[in-house]
């Protein structure tokens, strides 16, 4: 059974750096083809892809947010970490991690709401 | 540029069928897509992958009422025998090695 769970702060202040951790089970991020990514959803709005890391450590970022994002993986801990710098109130959203094996997203985490406010 | 376009809303009556559409941008008509369902106050769930030639592969436990098809640059999600729990937002998603792309979502209301 594949599960993913996001963890991190629920409240961050403007200009701070957000660090989110995705802890997963039921698959290995060392298996060829596997990728784990991050997606966010502002309240009442659509899904927005942020970043993606593959089994071979290749990383991809949303062009519009590339300068603020870093994605890393710890295969031994079954974790993927996303950092986003210089947080702003417009970054308030539910942040999801998700897994892909060969193409589309196959499994989603439950999401974690992050509010940016002073 | 790889873009997915969805109608913002759709509605259909309980027990009937509805067909949702996701349109791929010019030059990308051969791409496969995925459909994801997001029920109110819940996270998204993978429904199925729809390939360019029209075949589809559903996720675990997805009822037979859900099916997918294709025509040209359009990818479809058909839900038959609509139930109240089908009232949700439906997102299409596509990918290439460099990115994931989401459509704007369709809010389905079951009347």
CB atoms B32 and A103 under 8 Å: yes
Exposed e or buried b per residue across A74-99, where buried means at least 16 C-beta atoms within 10 angstroms of its C-beta: eeeebbbbbebeebeeebbbbbbbbb
Is A100 at the interface with chain B, CB within 8 A?
A: yes
Give the number of other CB atoms < 10 A from CB of residue B9: 11
The closest CB to that of A46, out of B43, B100, B105, belongs to B105
Helix (H/G/I), strand (E/B), else coil: A24: strand
CA–CA min distance A38, chain B (Å): 10
Summarised one tens digit per residue, pLDDT across range B30-88 is 999 999 999 999 999 999 999 998 898 999 999 999 999 999 999 999 999 999 999 99
Residues of B in contact with A62 (CB under 8 A): 99
Q: What is the model's pLDDT at position B107? A: 98
Instruction: Evaluate whether B103 touches B83 at the Cβ level (below 8 Å).
Output: no
Give the span between the Cα atoms of B58 and B56, in whole angstroms. 7
Q: What is the model's pLDDT at position A102? A: 81
Summarised one tens digit per residue, pLDDT across range A36-65 is 999 999 999 999 999 999 999 999 999 999
**Is the model's pLDDT at B98 over the cut of 90?**
no
CB atoms B43 and A107 under 8 Å: no
* CA-based nearest residue to A61, from A35, A37, A45, A78: A37
Q: Which tokens sit at B84?
A: 């109240």
**Beta carbon pairs, A and B, within 8 Å:** 58
Give the span between the Cα atoms of A61 and A80, in whole angstroms. 14
Give the span between the Cα atoms of B54 and B80, in whole angstroms. 18
Residues contacting A90, CB < 8 A, separation 6+:
A42, A116
Which DSSP string corresponds to A29-85?
TTSTT-EEEEEEE-TTS--EEEEEEETT--EEE-TTTGGGEEEEEEGGGTEEEEEE-
Is B49 at the interface with chain A, CB within 8 A?
A: yes
Q: What is the model's pLDDT at position B97? A: 76
Q: What is the model's pLDDT at position A98? A: 98
CB atoms B99 and A110 under 8 Å: no
Give the number of other CB atoms < 10 A from CB of residue B97: 9
Residues of A in contact with B49 (CB under 8 A): 103-104
Chain A from 62 to 81: CB within 8 A of any B CB? 62
């Amino acid at each position: 059974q594949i599960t993913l769970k996001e963890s991190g702060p629920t409240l961050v202040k403007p200009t701070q750096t957000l660090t989110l951790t995705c802890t997963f089970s039921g698959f290995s991020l060392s298996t060829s083809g596997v990728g784990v990514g991050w997606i966010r959803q502002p309240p009442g709005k659509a899904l927005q892809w942020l970043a993606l890391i593959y089994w071979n450590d290749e990383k991809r970022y949303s062009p519009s947010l590339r300068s603020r994002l870093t994605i890393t993986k710890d295969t031994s801990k079954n974790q993927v970490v996303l950092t986003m710098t210089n947080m702003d109130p417009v970054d308030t959203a539910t942040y999801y991690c998700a897994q892909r094996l060969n193409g589309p997203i196959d499994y989603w985490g439950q999401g974690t709401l992050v509010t940016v406010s002073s | 540029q790889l873009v997915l376009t969805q109608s913002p809303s759709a509605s259909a009556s309980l027990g009937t069928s509805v067909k949702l559409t996701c349109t791929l941008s010019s030059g990308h008509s051969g791409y496969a897509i995925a459909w994801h369902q997001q029920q109110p106050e819940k996270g998204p769930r993978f429904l199925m992958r729809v390939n360019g030639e029209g075949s589809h592969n559903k996720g675990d436990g997805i009822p037979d009422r859900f099916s997918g098809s294709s025509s040209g640059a359009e990818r479809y999600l058909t839900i038959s025998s609509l139930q109240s729990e089908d009232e949700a937002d439906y997102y299409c998603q596509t990918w290439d090695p460099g990115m994931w792309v989401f459509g704007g979502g369709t809010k389905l209301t079951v009347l």
